[in-house]
Chains A and B, each alone.
Chain A
């Protein structure tokens, strides 16, 4: 047999999967699970109390910007954090300070979804944390260069809706109240000029505008400097997520899954000066 002609694809064995449904814990193997922490996340329908997280090697997500009162509440939660929580991913650096003060034995991961844009800044933060999540707002080449030049393995946003805007305002319910409509906390919004669709979700802590289509950074999944490939399958049915994860682990395309993809950020550099647009 011509074995050399059979090009076996390498497997992706470092998936960090957001738990969007408890069923995933039973149905998906070979992943590390990420649990959005109840009261400390925006943009996640399914959040968890620490006491609900029983699985080993679990990570928790805290993606809110917090005030001092929030940090006091969080301190009480983290003081008694169980051993099965291996890491905390946080957007607010106040959480890092809190973890240090409490001397917690967890991996500290800074969520730099909009500010992890260059390797030098990331390397500065890597002096303080164990890893960071590199921004998904930049091109494949930029992410690749960051991965090549950072001093510790980083996390990339491999699959999910792009987090496009985070507001402290409750934008959906403000609108519904103004128009005397029934308040809905998840909505589809369209920008009519470009016919661009957003998925918008709010809770009492704010609002997130997500892209309407999913981002899939398939080409970089096997980079040697990746701690985790984060798969964040919001708004997808559990069975589809199971199949999706299997495809990603096997480094496959997502054809026939009925998932619309948009990788504009990966493929197109953003513009700084308007004159560049005219060119």
Chain B
């Protein structure tokens, strides 16, 4: 069976663990230095160590983004940082600044080198320049088409990592300083203010350059066939629920493609689940050609936030058949939800009785993070999720 990698983002340890449990093969994350999400929580060196141990125990990999574009002042401490990452067993570094590769090579560190999407690789020859420097994998520009992927794979022999889900920059990555211009926040050092989501004036009209999100559900099979090695989900700032849902769904899609059991009905269901969770419209963007006006927003970005994430399982009491849940969004008796799990099939659950932490019966769970207990005959596991049932899976079959 062909081996492909599902690569998940993680903004902190909780999300990293969820991503691992819900089916990611590898996790990418920013360390406390030099990452393009300077305002995310990011990981201390101790956090990274814990992440590596947790992931390696599950036979999963950890990639650290060292993907800022370095200014003179940023260079101090870079060697030491890379040595630290090497010593704790990080599997690979994702970078685009050549100085990172130079240091890893010069110090003979045991870190695999992946060329970041910040390098905007769209052709074989530019990838070969970096292959000569020792990179093993290229994260293609989000602008890469199917044809580009085939050509680069064929001509370079490099591992190909490509984005399949998440937000898009309007610009080629690394080729935008609109944020620096309007807010002084450095987009190429992790402080992007997302100016491409702002509104502009053009003549008498409101002008927008905001792209819709990326979603490659319909192309995963084709991408496996043409040799993409790693399927990358964007979103180091995204929630636990988003990570669990999106990674869980892509895991199922990939596995079902590989064992030839993915039906059109299941695919439609997965697509609806992802779209609902992502809150924004999404398209395959550049995969089959240049995006047109249909792949952009012109009347503001329509985000339909929902409160589907009802709670996360903390524990299950086998003897009393009670699940302990940490509430995340309001729910009450009579609502119909479903439990999703990394290991078990999704099943419907009608909420009929809610107990508070002291065992007192209540009608509603309405305080974020309150602990409640629900009677449930079927065993669930820690980190399973209760969400509102929106789609009837059976109706897609």
List residues of chain A with CB under 8 Å of any chain B CB.
65-71, 92-98, 101, 114-115, 117-121, 124-125, 128, 137-138, 142, 145-146, 162, 164-171, 174-175, 177-179, 181, 187-194, 196, 198, 209, 211, 264-265, 268, 270-274, 277
Contacting residues, chain A, for B99 (C-beta < 8 A): 118, 120-121, 124
A211-B181, A273-B191 are known contacts. Are A97 and B70 too (CB-CB below 8 A)? Answer: no
Interface residues of chain B, those whose CB is within 8 Å of chain A, are 38-39, 69-72, 74-75, 96-99, 102, 120, 122-126, 128-130, 141, 143, 145, 147-148, 151-152, 155, 170-172, 174-178, 180-186, 188-191, 195-196, 198-203, 205, 207-209, 211, 286, 290-293, 295-296, 298
Show 16 residue pairs from A and B whose CB-CB distance is below 8 angstroms, ordered by the A residue.
A65-B122, A120-B75, A162-B177, A164-B177, A165-B170, A165-B171, A165-B177, A166-B176, A175-B208, A187-B203, A188-B202, A190-B200, A192-B201, A272-B38, A273-B191, A274-B191
Q: Which interface residue of B72, B152, B174 has the most chain A CB atoms within 10 A?
A: B72
Q: Which residues from chain B contact A68 at a C-beta distance below 8 Å?
A: 123-125, 148, 151-152, 155
| Contact yes or no, A70 B211, CB < 8 A | no
Q: Chain A: interface secondary structure?
A: mixed
Q: Taking the nearest CB of chain A, how far is it from the CB of B155, in angstroms?
A: 7
A70 to B148, CA, bound (A): 11
List B contacts of A169 (CB < 8 A). Answer: 170, 209, 211, 290-291, 295-296
Query: Contacts of B39 on A, CB cut-off 8 Å?
Result: 273-274
Question: How near does chain B come to A169, taking the closest CB pair, in angstroms?
Answer: 6
A178–B298 touching, CB < 8 Å: yes
A204 to chain B, nearest CB (A): 9
In the complex where A114-B174, A118-B72 touch, is A175 in contact with B180 (Cβ < 8 A)?
Answer: no
Contacts of A211 in B (CB 8 A): 181
**Which of B148, B207, B208, B296 has the most A CB atoms < 10 Å from its CB?**
B207
A192 touches B72 (CB 8 A): no
Q: Is the CB of A271 within 8 A of B123?
A: no
Cβ of A70: which chain B residues have Cβ within 8 Å of it? 123
> Distance in Å from the Cβ of B340 to the closest Cβ of chain A?
34
Beyond A97-B129, A165-B196, A178-B298, 15 additional contacts (C-beta under 8 Å) are A69-B147, A165-B177, A166-B171, A168-B290, A169-B291, A169-B296, A171-B170, A174-B296, A179-B298, A181-B205, A193-B182, A271-B184, A271-B185, A271-B186, A273-B39
* Shortest beta-carbon distance from A140 to chain B in Å: 13
When A and B form their complex, which 9 residue pairs have the shortest distance between CB atoms, in order from nearest? Answer: A94-B125, A97-B125, A270-B186, A94-B126, A174-B293, A166-B175, A93-B126, A178-B293, A94-B123
Known: A97-B126, A196-B181. A170 touches B290 (CB 8 A): yes
Question: When chains A and B are docked, how far (Å) is the Cα of A96 from the Cα of B98?
Answer: 15
In contact, B176 and A138 (Cβ under 8 angstroms):
no
A120–B126 Cα distance when bound, in Å, is: 20
CB distance from A225 to the nearest CB of B (A): 15
- Minimum Cβ distance to chain A for residue B98 (Å): 5
In the complex, which residue of chain B has the Cβ closest to the Cβ of A125? B98
The CA-CA distance from A119 to B99 in the complex, in Å, is: 10
What residues of chain A lie closer than 8 Å to B207, measured between beta carbons? 175, 189
Point out the residue from B126, B129, B181, B201 that lies within 8 Å of A189, measured CB to CB: B201
Q: What chain B residues lie within 8 Å of A187 (beta carbons)?
A: 202-203
Please state if B71 and A66 are interface contacts (CB–CB under 8 Å): no
Shortest distance between the CB of A263 and any CB in chain B (Å): 12
A164 to B209, CA, bound (A): 14
Selected from B96, B129, B181, B199, the residue in CB contact (under 8 A) with A96 is B129
Contact B123 A142 (CB under 8 A): no
- Inter-chain contact B202/A189, CB cutoff 8 Å: yes
Question: Pick the contact of B182 from A94, A138, A194 — CB < 8 Å?
Answer: A194
CB atoms of B69 and A273 under 8 A apart: no
Q: How far is the CA of A142 from the CA of B151 in the complex (A)?
A: 39
Inter-subunit contact A117/B292 (CB<8 Å) = no
Q: Which single residue of chain A is at the shortest CB-CB distance from B130?
A: A93
Name the CB-closest residue of A to B188: A114
Question: Would you call A119 and B72 a contact (CB within 8 A)?
Answer: yes
Q: Write the nearest CB–CB distance from B117 to chain A, whole angstroms.
A: 12
| B-chain residues with CB within 8 Å of residue A97 when the two chains form the complex | 125-126, 128-129
Instruction: Establish whether residues B123 and A67, one from each chain, have CB atoms under 8 Å apart when the complex forms.
Output: yes
Contacts of B176 in A (CB 8 A): 114, 164-166
- Tell me how far the C-beta of A175 lies from the nearest C-beta in chain B, rounded to whole angstroms: 6
A265–B184 alpha-carbon span in the complex (Å): 9
Nearest B residue (CB) for A64: B122
With contacts A174-B293, A192-B200 taken as known, whether A121 is within 8 angstroms of B186 at the C-beta atoms is: no
Interchain CB contact under 8 A, A142 and B71: yes
**Closest A-chain residue to B286, C-beta based?**
A168
Distance of B320 from chain A, by nearest CB (Å): 47
What is the distance, in angstroms, from A118's C-beta to the closest C-beta of chain B? 5
Least CB distance from A30 to B in Å reads 32
A174 x B123 contact (CB < 8 A): no
Instruction: Please name the residue on chain B nearest to A98 by beta carbon.
Output: B125
CB-based contact A65/B120 at 8 Å: yes
Chain A, Cβ-Cβ closest to B190: A272
Task: Tell me which residues across on chain A come within 8 A of B293, comparing CB atoms.
Answer: 174-175, 177-178
Does B123 contact A190, Cβ atoms closer than 8 Å?
A: no
> Are B191 and A190 in touch, CB under 8 angstroms?
no
Contact pick for B209, options A162, A167, A188, CB 8 Å: A167
Q: Which residue of A lies closest to B211 (CB)?
A: A169
Q: Is the CB of A124 within 8 A of B290?
A: no
- How far is it, in angstroms, between the C-alpha of A247 and the C-alpha of B128 when the chains are bound? 43
User: Does B185 lie within 8 Å of A277, measured CB to CB?
Assistant: yes
Closest to B123 in A: A94
Cβ of B282 to closest chain A Cβ, rounded Å = 16
CB-based contact A114/B69 at 8 Å: yes
Nearest-Cβ distance from residue B196 to partner chain A, whole angstroms: 8
CB distance from A103 to the nearest CB of B (A): 15
